[in-house]
Amino acid sequence: MSITPILVAAMNVPRDCSGRNVEGYAREFDVTRESPEMGGGHNQSEWCDTLKATLRGEHPGAQFAVVRSGEHTNNHCAPLNCPQYTYTCTIHVKADPICH
């Protein structure tokens, strides 16, 4: 019985530059995502931090920078005041570090 090796495409393997310098990144792109509606006590920064944590799982070894954020308010119980907030965050991602 012979064993056939399985090849993995390099672009699907996260790169790690541990102990080496990062020369650059193979890919750069922006990600914009909107939060679900949230009650008071939350803010744009919190949503951006949540998004960055999600993106860290999707792009190990990447760098993240907030480009912009915003919010939209809805009041579903007029005439009472019970605002619900939807936050938007755009993050610039530098993925797939190039090491030397």
Q: Please report, for residues 2, 19, 27, 85, 88, the alpha-carbon distance to residue 45 in angstroms, rounded to integers and kept in the order given.
A: 55, 31, 25, 13, 10
pLDDT at residue 21, rounded to an integer: 85
Residue 52 lies in a domain: yes
> What is the Cα–Cα distance from 44 to 72, expressed in whole angstroms?
10
Please check whether residue 13 lies inside any domain of the structure: no
Decide if 82 contacts 73 (C-beta within 8 A).
no
For residue 100, the surrounding DSSP H or E stretch is none
pLDDT, residue 60, reads 87
> Is residue 94 one of the residues assigned to a domain?
yes
In order along its 100 residues, the chain shows pLDDT tens digits of 556 554 444 444 455 677 788 888 999 999 999 999 998 899 999 999 999 999 999 998 899 999 999 999 998 888 888 899 999 999 999 999 888 8
Residue 55 domain boundaries: 27-99
For residue 10, tell me if it sits in a domain.
Answer: no
Tally of structural domains, the chain: 1
